[in-house]
Structure 1
Amino acid sequence: MSFYEKESTALLIVDPYNDFMSDGGKLYDITKPQADSVGFYENMRKLIPVVRAAGIKVFIVPHHRTRPTDFDDWAAINPTQGETKRKECFQDGAWGGEFHPEFGPQPGDVVALEHWAQNGFANTDLDAQLKQHGMKKLIFVGFIANSCVEASARMGMELGYHVTLIKDATAAFNPEGMVAARVNAKLFAHSELTTAEFLDGLKATAKA
């Protein structure tokens, strides 16, 4: 079990938008079966307050909010970007593009610049923000397990951070995505924990 010192540990909440995490969001129904299968919402409600109370800094890793001119004259738009624009997911100025009131940012959190595709570090200030705040260990939760969470966590490893995935505090669009996330995690994550295991790790750190 790794120790998670508050001075150098960050909780990264990936894409905590209403469109993902609120009933009525455009992607809520499709992700809910996978979220329910691991107790995502219950675990987020257990984990986030304890992390905040422990003094661990929270970073929000947000997806690009959809705007009408997105991808105009782009040379290469991937299918997910095209579908996100078509459905107007995370629409700028709309309820779906607002942060979830419970899982989104609170005063004192750091909100990174929006990522255009899947990697929260690509073309954003996330790495600079983490380094400026002295972070060395990153804890990842949020959406989507085999997309933005995986891409961001993998890049975090490449940049020299210690990466922990909370495997029951993330979800995917389908069961296959959940399996892919667990298979791929073995290639880059330093630690994969359940919410209960991670919270036990925090307790051990506090006692050390």
Structure 2
Amino acid sequence: MTKTALIVIDVQRGFDSPAWGRRDNPACEANVRALLDGWRDAGQPVVLVRHDSTTPGSPLAPGQPGNAFKPELDGVRPDLLVPKSAHSAFHGHVDLHAWLTDNGIRDIVVCGIQTNRCVETTSRVGGDLGYRVRVALDATHTFDERGPDGALVTAEEFARATAANLHGHFAEVTTTAAVLAALAPDGS
């Protein structure tokens, strides 16, 4: 079986704050947990990424309760923890690219929060670095936001745009079930 790293992006309590607004995909965290369980059962490497915000007052700042991982990650002992203050996990405070290279890993699966920000950016950089990137879109979520013209862009619209941006260019956009099926001994 090919060694594939699961990269779990920013599944942190601070994203539960109502200040973020309406989110999509209430199944995100359960799907992330299903991926984590599948990875551990298959003996594959897990990377947890934590956003350590440098923005004053951010719930994701180190020392704030929101910086902690959500309960769905309780008990997970990652093979690598990547703290970051940028959007891409490849620009974190630990060199993810070097770690993946040193461990002979060329395939990655990305999931987590936010679909159109850190998940998309990490996937784009990973694709540019030559990794085979798969994004389990149903194991991500994001939030509604207003565009520069004041018009509302829904979280679902962001997720759809991210899928179109990534698929076939930087990554394969897929589902949790398909990724887990590929982990099975008879999978790809």
Q: Give the TM-score of the pair, scaled to structure 2.
A: 0.82
Equivalent in the alignment of 1:82: none
Letter of the 1:35 partner, please give it: N
Equivalent in the alignment of 2:160: 179
**1:24-39 correspondence runs (5 A):** 25-26=16-17, 30=21, 33-36=23-26, 39=27
Letter of the 2:34 partner, please give it: K
Query: C-alpha deviations, 1:131-160, integer Å up to 9, x for none?
Result: 122211000000111110111111011111
Match of 2:129 among 123, 145, 159: 159
- Unaligned regions of 5+ residues in structure 2, if any? 145-154
Number of aligned residue pairs: give it: 175
User: 1:86 Cα deviation (Å)?
Assistant: 4.6
Report the 3-state secondary structure (helix = DSSP H, G, I; strand = E; otherwise coil) of the residue aligned with 1:170: strand
8 A Cα contact 1:143 1:172, kept in partner: yes
Matched, 1:120 2:99: no
Report the 3-state secondary structure (helix = DSSP H, G, I; strand = E; otherwise coil) of the residue aligned with 2:110: strand
Query: C-alpha deviations, 1:64-91, integer Å up to 9, x for none?
Result: 244xxxxxxxxxxxxxxxxxx2542212
Measure, in 1, the Cα distance between the counterparts of 2:17 and 2:186. 43
Equivalent in the alignment of 2:63: 93
User: 1:30 Cα deviation (Å)?
Assistant: 2.9
Measure, in 1, the Cα distance between the counterparts of 2:123 and 2:4. 14
Letter of the 2:12 partner, please give it: Y
Equivalent in the alignment of 1:195: 176
Query: C-alpha deviations, 1:88-115, integer Å up to 9, x for none?
Result: 2212112111122432673352102x32
Larger CA deviation: 185-194 vs 162-171: 185-194
Higher strand share: 2
Letter of the 1:19 partner, please give it: G
Q: 1:102 to 1:88 in 2, by over 3 A?
A: same
Percent identity for Structure 1 against Structure 2: 29
Matched, 1:58 2:39: no
Runs of 4+ off more than 6 Å: none
Q: Give the TM-score of the pair, scaled to structure 1.
A: 0.75
Measure, in 1, the Cα distance between the counterparts of 2:125 and 2:43. 25
